[in-house]
Amino acid sequence: MQNQTDCSLKHPARNSSAEEKPGFSEKAGFLPDAKCSKTRDRVLIQIRTLLSACAVVVLLASPVAAAESGSGTGTVVKHNWPRWRGPLDTGVAPDADPPVEWSESKNIRWKIALPGLGHSTPIVWDDRIFITAAVPYGDALKPRYSNAPGAHDNRPITHRQEFVVLAVSRRHGKILWQRTVRKELPHEGAHYTGSLASNSPVTDGEHLFALFGSYGLYCLNLDGEFEWEKDLGKMQVKHGHGEGTSPTLYSETLIINWDHEGQSFVAALDKRTGKERWKVAREEVTSWATPIAVEVGGKPQLIVSGTDRVRGYDLATGNIIWECGGLSANIVASPVAAEGMVYAASSYDKQAMLAIRLDGAKGDITGTEQVAWSRIRRTPYVPSPLLYGDSLYFLRHYQGILSRVDAKTGEERLDPFRLGGIRNVYSSPVGAANRVYIIDRDGATMVISHEPTPRILALNRLNDTFSASAAIVGREMVLRGQRYLYCIAGE
C-alpha cells in the first residue's frame, strides 16, 4: 500500500503493537481523524438525527419491507436482528448505535463461555439472543476424515455431537434455556476452519427456526419448546467442507435451499407446521449462500445464488421467473437487494459480481440490459456484501482489501484500500450509525466511517477467533467467537 502513515485516533491503547495500528492510504481517500472527541460527538448526534429521519425510507426500500417477513410490524423488525444479515437482509441495523471502541476491558457488558463450536450468527429478538452450537460428547473416536472427492483441509469427526439451541439474556448474559434437538455421529466433518453448526437461525418473534442441515430443521417457540421438526436428508458437500446455508423466512413461508453433490433442491414450507408447500429440483452442486426474499411489483420472489448463476423464483409456486449466468463455482456470499436491484457475487475459480434490475426480468437475462452492471475483479468469496444506502461494500475474496462502489452504477467511489491490521475475514461486514464494522478471524474489528471520505475510527481487539457475523441491536453489538459470546455495549 502506498503512502502509509501512522495516526493517533484519540482513543486508548488497543492492546496492539505499533505495527498493527491501522494504516491510511491517501490514494484510498482515508484521512487521519484529527478532530477532537467533542466534535466527533456533535457529528454523531447529527448522523443519528439524519438516520432517524431516513429510517422509514430505508425500510421501505428493503427486500422484506412489504411483507415484513411475518414478524409483526416493520418497526418491530428493524429494532431487532431476526436473521443473519439483519432486519433488511443487507447487513445494516437502520436505527442502532453500537460502540465505536472496545477491548477485553472496555465496553464489554458481559462475556460468557459457549458450550460448543458454531459459526452461525447470533440473532436477537427483544431481550433474548438465540444461537446454535454443536457440542461433542462421549469418548473420543478414531478420527474419520471425509472421503468426498477432492477433500482437503478437513476437520475430522472425533466425537458424537449434541446439536443445541440456546437463548441468552441480552441484559445479563445468562443462559435462559438450552435445548438439545438431536444427538448423532456426523457422517461428514467440515473444513478445518469450519463448524457443524454454521447455519444461522431465524425468528419472526413467535417461532424460532434452527437448521442444522443434515441433522434436521427444528421449530421452537421462544421459550425453547418444540413445535415441529423435519428431516431433510443427508448432504454430500463438495470437498467435505461442511454445510452452511441458513433458512429464509417470508411471511408464513420458510424456505430452505439444499445445494450439494446429490440431488439439489429448494423447498418452501409452512412455517407453522413444517408442511411442504412446494419443492423444486435444482441442477446446482454445493453452494453455501442463503437466499433472500424480495418483492417485485407487489409479488414476492426468492433469489438464490448458486453455481454459475443466480435465479429468481416465484415464492408462491417455486416457478423460475428469471436466471442470469456469470457467477463462479463454490458460492458462499449471499445476495443483497434494495430499490429494485439485486447484487450477487462470488470469487472462487473466477471473480464475478452482477447487479440485476428486477423489474421486467424474465427468462434467461444473461448479457441483457437487465444486468445493470457487472465486474470481474476484487469480488467476495466468503463474506457477503454490505449494502449501505447507495453504497455497496465488499472484501476481496476473504482478505482485508475493501471496495466501495455506487450501487446503481457500479462505479468505484474510492480506489480499493487495504485495511491495515485486518487479515482473513469470514464474517460479513455490518453497518450502523453511519459506520462500517469489519471483523477478522484473529479478533480484530476495524470501524470506518460511512461518508464520502471514510476515516478509520478504531481498531479493536478481542482474545478469540471470529467467523460468525455480528448482530447489532440498539446500542449493543453481539459477537460470537469460537469460545465466547460477547455483548459489546457502551455505558
Q: Which pLDDT does position 73 carry in this prediction?
A: 53
Q: Which pLDDT does position 216 carry in this prediction?
A: 98
pLDDT (mean) for 382-403: 96
Take residue 432 and report the three cell numbers written for it: 450502523
> Cα–Cα distance between 423 and 382 in angstroms, integer?
13
Higher pLDDT, 68 or 414: 414
Higher pLDDT, 90 or 62: 90
Q: Compute the mean pLDDT over every residue in the chain, rounded to the nearest whole number.
A: 87
In CATH terms, the superfamily for domain 18-489 is YVTN repeat-like/Quinoprotein amine dehydrogenase (2.130.10.10)
Taking only the tens place, the pLDDT of each residue in 63-113 is 443 334 444 456 778 899 999 999 999 999 999 999 999 999 999 999 999
Give the 3-state secondary structure of residue 313. Answer: strand
Q: Which pLDDT does position 413 carry in this prediction?
A: 85
The structural domains of the chain, with segments of one domain joined by +, span 18-489
Q: Which pLDDT does position 49 carry in this prediction?
A: 38
Count each helix (H run) and each strand (E run) in the chain, helices first: 2, 35
Q: Decide if 236 contacts 258 (C-beta within 8 A).
A: no
Residue 290 has pLDDT above 90, yes or no: yes
pLDDT (mean) for 310-334: 97
Higher pLDDT, 37 or 334: 334
Q: Which pLDDT does position 491 carry in this prediction?
A: 74
pTM: 0.86
Question: pLDDT-based confidence at 57, cuts 50/70/90?
Answer: very low
Q: Which pLDDT does position 74 carry in this prediction?
A: 65
- The residues, ordered by sequence, that sit 6+ positions from 55 with a Cβ below 8 Å of its Cβ are 78, 94, 95
> Cα–Cα distance between 146 and 433 in angstroms, integer?
44
Question: 206-229: string of b/e by CB count within 10 Å (b at 16+)?
Answer: ebbbbbbbbbbbbbbebebeebbe
Taking only the tens place, the pLDDT of each residue in 22-52 is 333 333 333 333 333 433 444 343 434 343 3
Q: How many C-beta atoms lie closer than 10 Å to residue 203's C-beta?
A: 25
- Quick one: the chain helix, strand, coil %, rounded to 5? 10, 40, 50
Q: Which pLDDT does position 289 carry in this prediction?
A: 96
- The residues, ordered by sequence, that sit 6+ positions from 309 with a Cβ below 8 Å of its Cβ are 323, 324, 325, 326, 327, 366
Residue 220 has pLDDT above 60, yes or no: yes
Strand partners, 478: 471, 487
Instruction: Outline where 161-285 has alpha helix (H).
Output: none
Taking only the tens place, the pLDDT of each residue in 148-190 is 888 889 999 999 999 999 999 999 999 999 999 999 999 999 9
Residue 62 has pLDDT above 60, yes or no: no
> Cα–Cα distance between 300 and 316 in angstroms, integer?
7
Please give the torsion angle defined by the CA atoms of residues 34, 38, 44 and 48, in that order, rounded to the nearest 10 degrees: -170
Higher pLDDT, 8 or 444: 444
pLDDT (mean) for 395-404: 94
Please give the torsion angle defined by the CA atoms of residues 452, 457, 462 and 467, in that order, rounded to the nearest 10 degrees: 0
Higher pLDDT, 414 or 343: 343
